[in-house]
Amino acid sequence: MCGFNSKKVSGGKKMVNSISHGTILNQKEILDDLLMSEKHITYTYSSGITESTCPNLRFSLNKCLTSAQQCQFELFKVMEQRGWYEVEEASHELIESVKNKYIKILNEFN
C-alpha cells in the first residue's frame, strides 16, 4: 500500500510527499496526473466497448466510461478555475472550417 503525507508550506500550498518514492508533488502536479490518468481510462473504456461483442459488457463499460468522463471533466474544471489549464477559445472561422472538413469527409462515405 502506498501512502502519502501532506503538509502546508509557505503560501498555504499543500505539498505531498510520496513515502514510497520520496518525490514531492504539489497540487497542480497531482491534478495534472489525475487528469491524464482519466483521459487514458476513458480511451481504454472506449476501446473495450468498441472491441466487445457482449451486450452486457458493453453496457457496463459504457457506464464506467460515462463516470470516468464526468470525473475527467470535474478535474478539468478545477484546474481551469485555478488557472492551471488554459483553454484558447476557438474563433468562429476555425469552428466552421473544422465543421466543413468533417462534413466533407462524411459526404464522401455517402
% of the chain beyond a pLDDT of 90: 72
Domain borders along the chain are 28-109
Instruction: Give the predicted TM-score (pTM) of the model.
Output: 0.65
Give pLDDT, residue 10.
44
Of the candidates 32, 47, 35, which has an alpha carbon nearest to the alpha carbon of residue 71? 35
Taken in order 11, 13, 16, 22, the sign of the CA dihedral is negative
- Cβ atoms within 10 Å of 46's Cβ, excluding its own: 15
* pLDDT tens-digit map of 45-88: 999 999 999 999 999 999 999 999 999 999 999 999 999 999 88
Residue 29 burial by Cβ neighbours in a 10 Å radius (0-12, 13-18, 19+): middle
What are residue 26's DSSP bridge partners? 15
